[in-house]
Chain A
Amino acid sequence: MNEFIPLTWHDTLYLAPELILAAMFLILIVTDLFLPQRMSRAVIGWLSLGSLLLSLGFVIWRMIDMNPSGVSAEEAAKAGQAISLLGASYRVDDYGNLLKIIFLIGTSLIVLLGLGSTQKDEAVTDKAEFYYLLLPAAAGAMIMASSGNLVTLYIGLELLSITSYVLVGLRKRSSLSAEAAFKYVVTGGIASAFVLFGMSYLYGVTGSVSLGDFPAALPQAFADYKALVYVGFFFLIAGFGIKIAAAPFHSWAPDVYQGAPTPISAFLAVIAKGAALAAVFRFLYSSAFFLSGGSGKQAGDDVFFALLVIAAAAMLVGTVSALRQKQVKRLLALSGVANAGYLLVPIAISVTIIHSNNFSEFAFYLIAYLLMNVGAFAVVTVIARAAGHEELKGFSGLYYRAPWTAAAMLIFILSLSGLPVTAGFFGKLFILLGAASVQAYWLVAIMVVSTVISYYFYFGIIRQMFMRSNDEEEDAIHVPTVTGVVIWICAAATVALGVLPGPLMKGIDAVFSIQADLFVR
Chain B
Amino acid sequence: MDQFTQTAWLIPLFPFAAFLLLTALGRSYRRAGVLIGSIGSLAALVMSLLVFFERLDPDAVDYSDGFKWIDLGVYVLRIGFEVTNLNALMLVIVTAVSFLVNVYSAGYMKKDERITVFYGYVALFTFAMLGLVLSDNMLVFYIFWELVGVCSFLLVGFWYAKPAARAAAKKAFIVTRIGDAGLLLGVIVLFWYMPGHALDFSSIHNVFSEGQTGAITMSITTSIALLLFMGVIGKSGQFPLHVWLPDAMEGPTPISALIHAATMVAAGVFLLARTFDIFEASAAAMHTVAYLGGFTAIFAATVALAQNDIKRILAYSTISQLGYMVMAMGLGSMTGGIFHLFTHAFFKALLFLAAGSIIHAVHTQNIQEMGGLGSKMRITTWTFAIGALSLSGIPPFSGFWSKDLILAFALDENPFLFVIGLVAAFCTALYMSRLFFIVFMGKSRLQQQAQVRESSKVMTIPLIVLAVLSVGAGFVETPWNGWLGGWLTGGGEEVHASAAAIVASIAVGVLGIYVGWLMFGKGSIERGAAAARMPWLANLLERQYYMNEFYNLMIVKPVRGLGKGLYAFDEYVIGGAVRLIGFTSVAGGRVLTRMNNGQAQVYGLTAVIGLLVIIAAIVGRRFW
Asked whether, in the complex, the Cβ of A323 is within 8 Å of the Cβ of B600, the reply is: no
Interface size (B, Cβ < 8 Å)?
Answer: 32
Write out, one digit per residue, whether chain B residues 595-606 have a CB within 8 A of any chain A CB (1) or not (0).
Answer: 110101011101
Write out, one digit per residue, whether chain B residues 607-624 have a CB within 8 A of any chain A CB (1) or not (0).
Answer: 111110111011100100
* Among candidates B590, B606, B614, B622, residue contacting A309 with C-beta atoms closer than 8 Å: B614
A-B contact count (CB 8 A): 88
B600 contacts across to A, CB distance below 8 A? 182-183, 186-187, 252
* Among candidates A298, A310, A320, residue contacting B588 with C-beta atoms closer than 8 Å: A320
Q: Which residue of B lies closest to A185 (CB)?
A: B600
A26 contacts the other chain (CB 8 A): no
Which of A230-238, A373-381, A393-401 interfaces with chain B? A230-238
Write out, one digit per residue, whether chain A residues 375-418 have a CB within 8 A of any chain B CB (1) or not (0).
Answer: 00000000000000000000000000000000000000000000
A242 contacts the other chain (CB 8 A): yes
Asked whether, in the complex, the Cβ of B619 is within 8 Å of the Cβ of A187, the reply is: no
CA A211 – CA B139 in complex, angstroms? 49
Asked whether, in the complex, the Cβ of B618 is within 8 Å of the Cβ of A305, the reply is: yes
* Among candidates B68, B72, B593, B606, residue contacting A248 with C-beta atoms closer than 8 Å: B606
B614 contacts across to A, CB distance below 8 A? 234, 238, 306, 309-310
Asked, given contacts A249-B607, A251-B607, A305-B618, whether A324 binds B590 with beta carbons under 8 Å apart, the answer is yes
Write out, one digit per residue, whether chain A residues 443-459 have a CB within 8 A of any chain B CB (1) or not (0).
Answer: 00000000001001000
A158 contacts the other chain (CB 8 A): no
B531 contacts the other chain (CB 8 A): no
B28 contacts the other chain (CB 8 A): no
A481 contacts the other chain (CB 8 A): no
Residues of A80-99 at the interface with B, using a CB-CB cut-off of 8 Å, are none
Asked whether, in the complex, the Cβ of B619 is within 8 Å of the Cβ of A230, the reply is: yes
A501 contacts the other chain (CB 8 A): yes
Asked whether, in the complex, the Cβ of A251 is within 8 Å of the Cβ of B606, the reply is: yes
A506 contacts the other chain (CB 8 A): yes
Q: How far is the CB of A154 from chain B (nearest CB, A)?
A: 19
Q: How far is the CB of B140 from chain A (nearest CB, A)?
A: 15
Q: How far is the CB of B211 from chain A (nearest CB, A)?
A: 37
A36 contacts the other chain (CB 8 A): no
B598 contacts across to A, CB distance below 8 A? 255
Residues of A240-297 at the interface with B, using a CB-CB cut-off of 8 Å, are 241-242, 247-249, 251-252, 254-255
A2 contacts the other chain (CB 8 A): no
**Which of B589, B590, B617: most chain A Cβ within 10 A?**
B589
A507 contacts the other chain (CB 8 A): no
Q: Which residue of B lies closest to A506 (CB)?
A: B71
Asked whether, in the complex, the Cβ of A323 is within 8 Å of the Cβ of B586, the reply is: yes
Asked, given contacts A254-B596, A309-B617, whether A248 binds B607 with beta carbons under 8 Å apart, the answer is yes
Write out, one digit per residue, whether chain B residues 494-506 have a CB within 8 A of any chain A CB (1) or not (0).
Answer: 0000000000000
B606 contacts across to A, CB distance below 8 A? 248-249, 251
* Among candidates A241, A254, A309, A320, residue contacting B618 with C-beta atoms closer than 8 Å: A309
A70 contacts the other chain (CB 8 A): no
B24 contacts across to A, CB distance below 8 A? none
CA A325 – CA B594 in complex, angstroms? 12
Asked whether, in the complex, the Cβ of B622 is within 8 Å of the Cβ of A502, the reply is: no
Interface class of chain A by DSSP: helix
Q: How far is the CB of A92 from chain B (nearest CB, A)?
A: 30
- Categorize the interface residue count of chain A: 35 or more
B70 contacts across to A, CB distance below 8 A? 501-502
Q: How far is the CB of B69 from chain A (nearest CB, A)?
A: 7
A35 contacts the other chain (CB 8 A): no
Residues of B559-597 at the interface with A, using a CB-CB cut-off of 8 Å, are 585-586, 588-590, 592-593, 595-596
B71 contacts across to A, CB distance below 8 A? 502, 505-506
Asked whether, in the complex, the Cβ of A298 is within 8 Å of the Cβ of B622, the reply is: yes
Residues of B41-99 at the interface with A, using a CB-CB cut-off of 8 Å, are 68-72
A252 contacts across to B, CB distance below 8 A? 600, 603
B602 contacts across to A, CB distance below 8 A? 251
Residues of A467-521 at the interface with B, using a CB-CB cut-off of 8 Å, are 500-502, 505-506
* Among candidates A182, A320, A433, residue contacting B72 with C-beta atoms closer than 8 Å: A433
Q: How far is the CB of B555 from chain A (nearest CB, A)?
A: 33
B604 contacts across to A, CB distance below 8 A? 186-187, 190
* Among candidates B68, B595, B607, B615, residue contacting A187 with C-beta atoms closer than 8 Å: B607
Asked whether, in the complex, the Cβ of A324 is within 8 Å of the Cβ of B595, the reply is: no
A302 contacts the other chain (CB 8 A): yes
* Among candidates A183, A249, A321, residue contacting B610 with C-beta atoms closer than 8 Å: A249
A310 contacts across to B, CB distance below 8 A? 614
Q: How far is the CB of A113 from chain B (nearest CB, A)?
A: 26
Asked whether, in the complex, the Cβ of B592 is within 8 Å of the Cβ of A321, the reply is: yes
CA A323 – CA B618 in complex, angstroms? 29
Residues of A295-325 at the interface with B, using a CB-CB cut-off of 8 Å, are 298, 302, 305-306, 309-310, 317, 320-325
Asked, given contacts A238-B607, A298-B622, A502-B69, whether A251 binds B595 with beta carbons under 8 Å apart, the answer is yes
A238 contacts across to B, CB distance below 8 A? 607, 610-611, 614
Asked whether, in the complex, the Cβ of A306 is within 8 Å of the Cβ of B618, the reply is: yes
CA A241 – CA B70 in complex, angstroms? 34
* Among candidates B588, B607, B618, residue contacting A242 with C-beta atoms closer than 8 Å: B607
Q: How far is the CB of B116 from chain A (nearest CB, A)?
A: 21
CA A404 – CA B614 in complex, angstroms? 46
B590 contacts across to A, CB distance below 8 A? 324
B589 contacts across to A, CB distance below 8 A? 320-324
CA A456 – CA B585 in complex, angstroms? 11
Asked, given contacts A298-B622, A306-B618, whether A502 binds B603 with beta carbons under 8 Å apart, the answer is no
B610 contacts across to A, CB distance below 8 A? 238, 247-249
Q: How far is the CB of A392 from chain B (nearest CB, A)?
A: 14
CA A180 – CA B585 in complex, angstroms? 28
CA A394 – CA B525 in complex, angstroms? 80
Asked whether, in the complex, the Cβ of B603 is within 8 Å of the Cβ of A187, the reply is: yes
* Among candidates A194, A230, A322, A502, residue contacting B615 with C-beta atoms closer than 8 Å: A230
* Among candidates A235, A302, A501, residue contacting B611 with C-beta atoms closer than 8 Å: A235
CA A310 – CA B613 in complex, angstroms? 11
Q: Which residue of A lies closest to B593 (CB)?
A: A324
B608 contacts across to A, CB distance below 8 A? 190
CA A235 – CA B610 in complex, angstroms? 11
Asked whether, in the complex, the Cβ of A302 is within 8 Å of the Cβ of B619, the reply is: yes
Residues of B145-196 at the interface with A, using a CB-CB cut-off of 8 Å, are none
Q: Which residue of A lies closest to B602 (CB)?
A: A251
CA A241 – CA B606 in complex, angstroms? 12
Q: List 7 A-B contacts (CB under 8 A).
A: A194-B611, A238-B610, A255-B596, A321-B593, A321-B596, A456-B585, A502-B71
The 6 closest A-B pairs by CB, nearest first: A248-B610, A251-B603, A323-B589, A321-B592, A238-B611, A324-B589
Interface residues of A, Cβ cutoff 8 Å to B: 182-183, 186-187, 190, 194, 230, 234-235, 238, 241-242, 247-249, 251-252, 254-255, 298, 302, 305-306, 309-310, 317, 320-325, 433, 453, 456, 500-502, 505-506
Query: Can you name 19 extra interface pairs (CB under 8 A) apart from A248-B609, A317-B592?
Result: A186-B600, A186-B604, A187-B600, A187-B607, A248-B607, A248-B610, A248-B613, A249-B606, A251-B602, A252-B600, A305-B618, A320-B585, A320-B592, A322-B589, A323-B585, A502-B69, A502-B70, A502-B71, A506-B71
